[in-house]
């Protein structure tokens, strides 16, 4: 019974890759030094997995920015604007960031969420004349590297149909599936490269199978794997993030050597596929949750798997549900977690140990070690039962339909807000955060180490906030923000202040590139013991007569960007969080804050992969947002923010959220994302992002004017705001100030030209 790893986090347990990338981009280290740090990380991660009993180590899961981008480079599918000679590492960085230490800057490629996760990928751009040629050797070089270290390897690659599905077409309109034959030829060449190294198994990931596919895409899968069947390697077809039972007939007929299923997402599909395996076909059972951090109930899993272990023998592989990319690296470095909370957790490295222990329970259920594992699992279940708060439950039970509604419709609220706020046409604002400088991060580190008192810490952050307000006033921005200097992360900050939520020191997870987040741990019923943002909002507002937004993270985003308990429904947790945010909103309004932004960038991320399951999710997600926002009076303006999402199929739900103003990312798509808002006739106000904050490139005034003119062609002029795509935390002041100056000047020019 093999242990199967679908992929391991690439950032390192101390975020070594993040820091190396950023040093390289600042030209503080050279490419050789960056490559050496990456090689050291790969060596460590491979050895950890080998020590845990994984026989076929995943390679190809490492990426310097994004594994989808790595595959695009492998096949030479990179935008012409970024190609300046042969493809090298800086080419990838120009695609992802718009610039690199070498080469000429160019607009970065589009970035969006990978299925229903908080991981972002760089969207491949396909032309009608697209060629696919092996052009970037990273994948087979890393396979050779691991083999040279004495490991057996299993390359892990996105499958051809999912790759096409994730790509977008540019230039003339065409069906991207027309490119499948040429793409399959390139896959055959790549698989032959691996075979030449002595590789026997290759994992091809097709998470597209969790979607509801039409006949054309189903045929694409059928024809792809019929063609790849002749490759000189065994193919493990892997799908995850959802059930593929609805494609049972299709998948069962594919000539692959093995199949990986996400059993965490849908336990019932295990029996369905186990009974239809072909002779000799392997079943990899993804029974350890690769997207959450809670320790598995291994004794119950062993009971479930025992009949299949007997039925399949060595053809049953034990695995996480998906790549461990979505979990922190190593629990052992956490030294400040309460022991009772730490006992409930398993990070990536520990999940591999869970696989070992699960195999032991299946092979030697009566051994003393197996009995100790079962006893530990029973203790964990008892501990989890102590996570309920009667006051929180009573408050949820007392909710009425009126708690989910604003007092009046938007048109009446809009009049009241215009009268109170007196904002100009095309008001300018930012999304919330401003640069977190090295000085601020150093100050926070010293405070947490006890080297700076709480009073001195607050005093210094007040100076930073005052400076941020003064910079915005000098720039002429209409609606200000306090800059969030006190916040490490838009979710972690709130998690640290909510009852029922824990947080880690090193529980980092990659979101994209060098961007990492540290999700809170929702382990019990959630409530707000005291105000979380009130002091900072009122202090910032005291510095100016211009409106300063109160800045909150919404309940749906806190839910999705946390590691959430699994013993109650996510809908229930969302409403608990909504009540906590509702209390904060009420306090801010009472203190005179006239604009309150409740960010929901993860709203679409929570969609089930099957569209037929969407409505139930959308109903409770919209309700949670409305619960958080609906306690205020008409003249208080509620904003929300969403970024890096497609809105076509969720626009009705977004409108139902009934935020007075929504700000969205649109600059990388050149305002194309606004098409759906135009077609829907979106009724409320909207701020399409004009400044790609994920690129260090500074937009010109003319570029911003051109983008807003495109927006004005789609949306009524008096509905429009002007703002960046997202928060400015990761940028530097020397980039931010000229960009915002251009944004304000563009607004003034547009008012003159259009108003």
Query: Would you list the DSSP string of 45-104?
Result: HHHHHHHTTBSEEEES---SS-HHHHHHHHTT---GGG-SSS--HHHHHHHHHS--SSS-
| DSSP, res 396 | H
Contact 10, 61 (CB under 8 A): yes
Burial level of 473, CB count in 10 A (0-12/13-18/19+)? Answer: middle
Q: Which helix (H) or strand (E) holds 504?
A: none
Range 36-42, long-range pairs (CB < 8 A, 24+ positions): 38/62, 38/64, 39/145, 40/16, 41/10, 41/12, 41/16, 41/17, 42/142, 42/145, 42/146
Q: How many other CB atoms are there within 10 angstroms of residue 363's CB atom?
A: 12
* End-to-end Cα spacing for the chain: 71
DSSP element (H, E) containing 648 = none
Nearest by Cα to 288 from 237, 358, 341, 343: 358
Catalytic: which of 260, 560, 641, 694? 694
Strand residues in 593-735 grouped as ranges (E):
595-599, 637-642, 661-664, 685-688
Q: Respond yes or no: is residue 694 known to be catalytic.
A: yes
CA-CA distance, 191 to 202, in Å (whole number)?
A: 8
CB within 8 A of 748, min separation 6: which ones? none
Gap between the Cα atoms of 675 and 672, Å rounded: 6
Question: Beta strand 685-688 with 661-664: parallel, antiparallel or unpaired?
Answer: parallel
DSSP 281-295: -EEEEEEE-TT--BP
Enumerate the active-site residues.
694
């Amino acid at each position: 019974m093999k242990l199967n790893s679908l992929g391991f986090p690439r950032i390192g347990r101390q975020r070594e890759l993040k820091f190396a990338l950023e040093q390289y981009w600042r030209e503080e280290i050279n490419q050789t030094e960056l490559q050496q740090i990456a090689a050291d990380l790969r060596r460590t991660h491979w050895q950890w997995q080998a020590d845990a009993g994984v026989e076929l180590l995943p390679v190809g899961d490492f990426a310097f920015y994004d594994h989808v981008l790595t595959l695009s480079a492998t096949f030479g599918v990179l935008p012409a604007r970024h190609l300046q000679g042969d493809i090298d590492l800086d080419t990838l960085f120009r695609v992802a960031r718009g610039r690199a230490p070498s080469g000429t800057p160019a607009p970065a490629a589009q970035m969006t969420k990978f299925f229903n996760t908080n991981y972002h990928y760089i969207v491949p751009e396909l032309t009608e004349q697209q060629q696919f040629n092996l052009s970037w050797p990273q994948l087979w070089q890393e396979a050779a590297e691991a083999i040279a270290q004495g490991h057996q390897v299993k390359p892990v690659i996105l499958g051809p149909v999912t790759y096409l599905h994730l790509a977008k077409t540019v230039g003339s309109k065409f069906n991207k599936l027309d490119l499948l034959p040429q793409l399959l030829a390139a896959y055959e060449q790549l698989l032959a490269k691996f075979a030449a190294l002595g590789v026997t198994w290759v994992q091809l990931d097709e998470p597209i199978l969790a979607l509801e596919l039409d006949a054309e895409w189903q045929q694409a899968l059928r024809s792809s794997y019929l063609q790849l069947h002749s490759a000189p390697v065994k193919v493990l077809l892997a799908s995850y993030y959802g059930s593929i039972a609805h494609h049972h007939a299709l998948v069962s007929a594919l000539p692959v050597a093995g199949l990986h299923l996400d059993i965490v997402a849908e336990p019932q599909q295990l029996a369905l596929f186990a009974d239809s395996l072909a002779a000799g076909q392997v079943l990899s059972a993804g029974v350890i949750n690769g997207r959450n951090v809670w320790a598995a109930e291994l004794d119950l899993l062993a009971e479930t798997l025992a009949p299949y272990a007997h039925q399949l023998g060595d053809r049953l592989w034990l695995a996480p549900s998906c790549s461990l990319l979505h979990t922190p690296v190593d629990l052992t470095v956490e030294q400040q977690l309460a022991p009772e909370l730490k006992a409930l957790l398993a990070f990536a490295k520990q999940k591999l140990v869970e696989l070992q222990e699960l195999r032991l329970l299946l092979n030697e259920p009566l051994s003393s070690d197996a009995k100790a594992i079962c006893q530990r699992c029973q203790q964990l279940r008892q501990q989890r039962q102590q996570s309920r708060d009667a006051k929180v439950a009573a408050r949820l039970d007392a909710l009425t339909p009126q708690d989910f509604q604003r007092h009046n419709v938007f048109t009446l609220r809009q009049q009241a807000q215009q009268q109170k706020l007196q904002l100009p046409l095309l008001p300018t604002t930012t999304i919330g955060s401003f640069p977190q400088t090295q000085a601020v991060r150093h100050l926070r580190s010293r405070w947490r180490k006890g080297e700076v008192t709480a009073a001195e810490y607050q005093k210094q952050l007040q100076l930073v906030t005052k400076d941020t307000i003064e910079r915005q006033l000098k720039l002429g921005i209409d609606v200000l923000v306090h800059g969030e200097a006190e916040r490490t992360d838009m979710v972690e900050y709130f998690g640290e202040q909510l009852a029922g939520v824990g947080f880690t020191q090193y529980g980092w997870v990659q979101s994209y590139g060098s961007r990492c987040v540290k999700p809170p741990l929702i382990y019990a019923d959630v409530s707000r013991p005291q105000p979380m943002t009130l002091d900072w909002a009122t202090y910032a507002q005291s510095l100016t007569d211009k409106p300063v937004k109160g800045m909150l993270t919404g309940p749906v985003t806190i839910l999705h960007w946390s590691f959430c308990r699994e013993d109650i429904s996510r809908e229930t947790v969302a409403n608990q969080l909504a009540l906590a945010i509702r209390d904060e909103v009420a306090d801010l309004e009472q203190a005179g804050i006239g604009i309150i932004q409740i960010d929901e960038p993860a709203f679409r991320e929570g969609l089930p992969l099957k569209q037929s399951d969407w409505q139930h999710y959308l109903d409770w997600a919209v309700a949670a947002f409305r619960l958080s926002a609906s306690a205020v009076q008409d003249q208080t303006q509620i904003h929300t923010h969403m970024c890096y999402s497609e809105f076509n199929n969720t626009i009705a739900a977004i409108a139902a959220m009934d935020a007075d103003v929504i700000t969205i990312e649109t600059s990388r798509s050149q305002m194309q994302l606004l098409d759906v808002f135009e077609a829907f006739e979106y009724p409320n106000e909207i701020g399409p992002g004009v400044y790609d904050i994920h690129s260090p490139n500074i937009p010109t005034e003319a570029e911003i004017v051109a983008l807003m003119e495109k927006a004005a062609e789609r949306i009524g002029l008096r509905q429009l705001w002007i703002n960046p795509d997202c928060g400015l935390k990761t940028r530097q002041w020397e980039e931010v100030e000229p960009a915002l100056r251009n944004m304000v000047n563009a607004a003034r020019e547009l008012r003159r030209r259009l108003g």
